[in-house]
Structure 1
């Protein structure tokens, strides 16, 4: 966790760029595809965290090099063929020829260029103490024992971070912000908590991850948003071990794949209450026993030994940027009565989160004075 906290500066850098962009949009009153912009933000953050450089999504306001489009195509393929894996050897080569290579190539070239540049710079810190980005840590491991942590391992670590670290976080950010827009009473409570913390000198500008964790209602909002809209939309499968297993009274032979769909688990009324389908952050603020019971069934990041390794990074991004966004800006849904459209290709991405943004001048003035 200490290493993670030392990386906050990379999140803060991207947040500053994002806030400036939103201020510009506030002046033009144009409609934003907020889910898209939150993905731009998450992608640039993971670039900073991994190789110390933004991809430029926020700066250019577009899918640089077609990278996001390429990842979407890849997810659609894996979501379908992954279910029928025996088809993969027959159609993968054909899909590689038919699908655009530009996006994948742009991501690979960007990542490799940063690795090569860092290797050439002998003054660049190759650290094992966690004060640098992931690339500096990987380079330190490689330098210490090249045969154990190879060039291939170094590249794979970087590309995995980048490829897997944007969609999940952007979906989570979109769920938090969308549900706050849909539930103004929750937004008001959150702002009151943040303003009180600020008045007590308990919040910095920008908010630190540690400070965000000491905001009970903020944490309840995040937890609830990730419960009602978890990023993963397919069952999280496990292979039944030797000898088989009996689950809920049914025997499954060894080798069978069993799994639980996160969306189904999170709607369990016996765990989350009769109103489990509703966004209600207060459910996480009752007694400790109730919280612990719900937390045991909280599958957003998986569970056990296969828990998402990027969980804390994602929570850091969400916990830091959401206070900034709700204090600095008002967000107005373009179609507040319409149902949110989503697309499930392993990750359940929001498709219709359109809003207009305006600056909250009283709060902005306070921020500027600091």
Structure 2
């Protein structure tokens, strides 16, 4: 009986869905895509479930053109003008319901990343902007140096024992501990222990998988979250764990007393985010609340490690598979070191003065961006003209960073790692503008990743240090990745050898 009902309900559901879609999006029936995507989201759900949608999305556009149907009312876009229309500053395209899967079902427990309220997001962002600004980076360098020192020590230990290591894992340990120092004033301890402490990384990955999939059917999120929270291995339980983890860190944070440094004759230490937010809260409790403090901490923990770790992995992966590029970058770093323009603990300012380093970073983040799904947005009231189609209010459109970065018209030979393309484009302002318009590893417009500058700080300081001080080799011809929103490598196995010349050793000793 139940089976009969099931066979009756499913066709009925598909028929109703088709009728609703046809009536609401009748002007878009000519948009191409896999046939099944006209009727159901199941095709998209299944492809995302298989964790390789970034490549699927590129192939769809190669086959069908600049606009592709992904689901009955979801359309993937590959159009330079559309990027500015949908994501540019002042855009009225709000985030889609997919982002509901990234927040607690309670509407009063909103956080910055998934917030779909454009006005509220803008007001909240202003409260945090100064913490993440480029001008604040110099105050965080000591936090980054502390963690880079420990990572370098762990790499020397692996050199001595001769075993391989998963560099992607160690990059996540590094990024997690840096964000711990910057946010809470103390490392989480991943670099010290070298493994997932109390299942935190596992919980975060479960959260990512759950949020990514349930967001495709956001109406199920409130119904599933409470039930799944009882199962420790579920993504819902992972979210609950991360939320409590952040709350515990904030609750145990000791208030900073500058008078103690004065008494003991020490230089004042750099303030972490929690200290700064507490001071702002105490100064103006109506503007900055305890919930804003919690929201900041949660955002840093959820998004602060994966993006940086993936970007670091991409840079080193492409360097190891392009030895001529590695040699050229190493020559630049060694030259700067010889001239006294590159410290043992590379400063952010020094890294910004290395043109080839910056080109390598930019090209690696183009080749392998952290996010691998379309950045879904809702067409606002009045509809919008995009790529020759008139999209009605409520339609969902999005550009996948990978699709933008592999557009052959913007990046010729897009599958080839060519840092020189960025240097050569400096001589052609129009070309450079076009490339930058489609370059979006941290998003675009008002929803650009708030932690972008911190991630760039971590990357810019660590990469030249690794290139100068270590030799890495890998026998992996092509790594394996899994895309659950973040496209993470799973098997970036390398061997490491210390490479410290006499001058660097002398500088370090000083």
Instruction: Decide which structure has the larger Cα Rg and report it.
Output: 2
Q: 1:29, 1:133 → 2: CA distance?
A: 37
| Deviation, structure 1 residue 365 | 2.9
- Normalising by structure 2, we get a TM-score of 0.68
| Deviation, structure 1 residue 140 | 1.0
Alignment partner, residue 365 of structure 1: 505
SS for the counterpart of 2:216 is coil
Alpha-carbon deviations, 1:61-116, whole Å to 9, x = none? 10011000000001000111111111212211222112348866765555444433
| Deviation, structure 1 residue 137 | 1.1
Alpha-carbon deviations, 1:131-158, whole Å to 9, x = none? 5111111111111122332222212211
Alignment partner, residue 168 of structure 1: 307
| Deviation, structure 1 residue 123 | 4.7
Alignment partner, residue 51 of structure 1: 184
Alignment partner, residue 140 of structure 1: 279
SS for the counterpart of 2:377 is strand
SS for the counterpart of 2:370 is coil
Q: 2:228, 2:240 → 1: CA distance?
A: 15
Correspondent of 2:220 among 60, 63, 87:
87
Alpha-carbon deviations, 1:183-202, whole Å to 9, x = none? 11111100111111122222
Q: 1:268, 1:197 → 2: CA distance?
A: 35
Contact 2:363–2:417 (8 Å) recurs in 1: yes
Bigger mean CA offset, 353-362 vs 170-179: 353-362
Alpha-carbon deviations, 1:14-71, whole Å to 9, x = none? 0001100110011011110111110000000000010110000000010011000000
SS for the counterpart of 1:271 is coil
- Is 2:278 aligned against 1:278? no
Please report the RMSD computed on the Cα atoms of aligned residues, expressed in angstroms.
Answer: 2.0
Moved over 6 A (4+): none
Structure 1 gap ranges (5+): none
Q: 1:124, 1:24 → 2: CA distance?
A: 39
Alpha-carbon deviations, 1:146-183, whole Å to 9, x = none? 23322222122112111210000000000001111111
Correspondent of 1:209 among 330, 348, 365:
348
Q: 1:191, 1:121 → 2: CA distance?
A: 41
Contact 1:333–1:356 (8 Å) recurs in 2: yes
- Normalising by structure 1, we get a TM-score of 0.93
1:341/1:106 CA distance change after superposition, 3 Å: same
Q: 1:266, 1:168 → 2: CA distance?
A: 17
SS for the counterpart of 1:62 is coil
Alignment partner, residue 251 of structure 2: 116
Structure 2 gap ranges (5+): 1-133, 261-268
Correspondent of 1:320 among 458, 461, 482:
461
Correspondent of 1:291 among 416, 432, 435:
432
- The number of equivalent residue pairs is 363
